[in-house]
Structure 1
Amino acid sequence: MPSATHIRPRDTRSPLSALHGARPSRRGLLAGGLGAAALLGLTACGADDSGGPSTAGGSGAAGWSFTDDRGRTVRLSRRPKRIAFLTDTVGAALWAAGLHPVAATDSGQGIVPAVKPDWSGVAKIYSADKGVRIEALAQARPDLLIDAVQPDGTLQVASQLPAVTKIAPVVGLSTYRSIEQIAGTADRLTGSLGARLADTGAKTRYEEAGSRLRKAVAADKELRVGFVFGIDKNTIGVMNPKTWAVLKTVSALGMRLLPVPGGADNTYSQAVSWENVPSLPVDLLVWAVSDPLPDNPLWKRTPAVRAGQLWKPDLSSWYAYSWENFTVLLDGLATHVQSAHAGVGPRTTS
């Protein structure tokens, strides 16, 4: 999902029925980064592989511990006070939860600014050509590092891990889960580190938005929704419901999503050539993660677009996993689902 940008796993060529196209690259959406390497052992902290997902965290006379999303428990003699965020997405979620780091990445993709962080006293450690700037990270003297976990269990900063773990132990948080799990883990980790949650009402507002969307979906169970984005002048991408946090969330609320047949949990999306776009079996289209909307005759001939059943969310970033950011998304989806009608798109691909 690179050290500062959130690189999703590579795509597989799993055809969307009769739809064909070149495989999209995550690097085409977010610039720069590190190649995924095999995960190396954590050398700067104790690890207990018997732990579960990120549900444990605390401090006291026995010190501090937290079980991350790889099932590894980081144990320290005292609660960490100087925290560094190695990845935009994880950093944005934790910043939104109220955790103020001594060092953080901002790759310029709009992910971090979406949560309006306070950069006072924070060292910027991202370099477009090198990823995490190891010297700058070391100078910030962190006692805990937090990075994103990819679907294969590796940390996003995997290729720099030997150098990184000489500075401080690493906690890994996955952003390949539902929004509730991602933001919930950010809240728990923030609390375990002694920080006050930034907005205690944000989760409640998010849950209310989720309830509105669930009711809207239940009122028209046949409505088919496709989340798509631009890849290049020849293709668009259909987002895989098994991979994206947003799609996992709305699927759990009952939304009927355009599938990616054969798409594994680490398949980012399926490419669809323009001549096949009008054949997509969807009634409502959501244009995501890319700008601008297509200016293509085939797009304009797509039944959902012709019917006005199209939404391009006005979000700063699809990758800032905070309660507040995704309350906006769920509210907008509820509004558009309520006004859309099933049966607009083709029943089958041809």
Structure 2
Amino acid sequence: MPTVPRRTLAAVGVAAAIGVSACGGTAPPPAAAPASGQGTWTWTDDRGKNISLPSRPQRVVAQSGAAAALWDFGVRPVAVFGPHRLKDGGRDPEVGEVDIAKVESIGNVWGEFNVEKYASLRPDLLVAGMYQKNTLWYVPEESVQAVDQIAPSAGVQLSGKPLVEIIERYGQLAAALGADPKAAPVVEAKNRFDAASAALRTLAAARPDLKVMVVTATPDNLYVAYLPDHPDIKYWGELGLNIVHPARPTESEGGFWEVVSWENADKYQADVILVDARTQSMKIEEMAGKPTWAKLPAVRAGQLYPWHAAERYSYLGYAKVMEELKTNLEQARDDVVK
């Protein structure tokens, strides 16, 4: 994913804490059935890496976002790494509905991965998403070799693919790990996702003049999301939402964003602005001190809503995101940009 905010800001060691969806949760699916121990288990991950084990992996360790997605599909990791526990001890939204009291922690912030503890857990498989090709999210570069010697890893590509395809990929991996794809909570979550998609499509058709922009920020710059590189935003555009976005991203960012100085923060204007809700992104109240930002139509109209940039790729996760988005957009005016 982008150097900002998913990489550079994370690198300073600040754990992400995206806003909690306004919608209620769904009871988690049952844990995956135990492996029979018969035959071999094989999987080809999104790096093209072929994994072959004597039996189906039982002890799975996963990056928090991957753990959250797998959990919704019925897999119960034994440990997680990446943002999962807030400073007050509560569950970080990035880890979804994972019961953090029942899983081990081998790292909670960027650059933190306890290789010794990982080895002591006797893992069968490590699972992590990948924003950059062949790079497992939250596995420190200096630890990759050691981690690879302990257990095989499976990477799931999170950029350059459609939202639904990424969700389905996690579902396929969960099924390969023994989860039941027809379990009632999984089916209910899929139906909820489809209903939320249809509702957002209906809203978009009824409100074609409602302009929506997605941003994140640092004290130095505003980052405007480039629609094609964000699976969720691209999906909303396909549903018909009028997304204001750059024609091309800033080259130095490797995609994902156009970097705009605060002096030029009015380059793009929209009726609604979705603001990165993670902790490493600048807060709305902090951005209010930037004069050009304060003059934007959406800011003046108070039409600022959260963007859950680190949502897990599951039907349940994005059903809740789209339900919240629809609720927010329904109350928004579409005439604030003159």
8 A contact 2:133–2:157 mirrored in 1: no
Deviations 1:74-121 (A, max 9, x none): 222321111111x22222222232211122214346656652322455
Question: Partner residue of 2:74?
Answer: 98
Q: Which of the residues 66, 69, 80 maps onto 2:57?
A: 80
Deviations 1:230-267 (A, max 9, x none): 211x4322122122232122122122322233227942
Q: Which of the residues 283, 286, 291 maps onto 1:292?
A: 283
> 1:279 offset after TM fit, Å?
4.0
Change beyond 3 A, Cα 1:112–1:308: closer
> Is 2:269 aligned against 1:281?
yes
Alpha-carbon distance in 1 for matches of 2:224, 2:81: 29
Alpha-carbon distance in 2 for matches of 1:123, 1:340: 42
> Is 2:287 aligned against 1:318?
no
> 1:191 offset after TM fit, Å?
1.6
> 1:60 offset after TM fit, Å?
9.1
The one-letter amino acid of 1:153's match is: N
Give the TM-score normalised by structure 1. 0.74
Alpha-carbon distance in 1 for matches of 2:165, 2:132: 15
Aligned residues: 299
Give the CA RMSD over aligned residues: 3.1
Give the TM-score normalised by structure 2. 0.76
> 1:306 offset after TM fit, Å?
2.4
Moved more, 123-132 or 302-311: 123-132
The structure that is helix-richer by fraction is 2
Q: Report matched runs for 1:199-214 at 5 Å.
A: 199-200=185-186, 201-214=188-201
8 A contact 2:199–2:326 mirrored in 1: yes
> Is 2:157 aligned against 1:174?
yes
Question: Partner residue of 1:137?
Answer: 118
Question: Partner residue of 1:122?
Answer: 103
Question: Partner residue of 1:150?
Answer: 131
8 A contact 1:150–1:174 mirrored in 2: yes
SS at match of 1:126: coil
The one-letter amino acid of 2:56's match is: R
8 A contact 2:125–2:154 mirrored in 1: yes
Change beyond 3 A, Cα 1:61–1:326: same
> 1:198 offset after TM fit, Å?
8.0
The one-letter amino acid of 1:9's match is: P
Change beyond 3 A, Cα 1:246–1:171: same
Question: Partner residue of 1:16?
Answer: none
Question: Partner residue of 1:194?
Answer: 178
The one-letter amino acid of 2:154's match is: V
The one-letter amino acid of 1:194's match is: G
Moved more, 246-255 or 113-122: 113-122
Q: Report matched runs for 1:1-350 at 5 Å.
A: 8-10=1-3, 26-29=7-10, 31-32=12-13, 62-85=39-62, 87-107=63-83, 108=85, 111=92, 114-119=95-100, 122-126=103-107, 128=109, 131-156=112-137, 157=139, 158-176=141-159, 177-196=161-180, 199-200=185-186, 201-232=188-219, 234-263=220-249, 266-289=254-277, 290=281, 292-293=283-284, 294-296=287-289, 297-312=291-306, 318-342=310-334, 344-345=336-337
The one-letter amino acid of 2:226's match is: N
The one-letter amino acid of 1:88's match is: S
Alpha-carbon distance in 2 for matches of 1:10, 1:291: 15
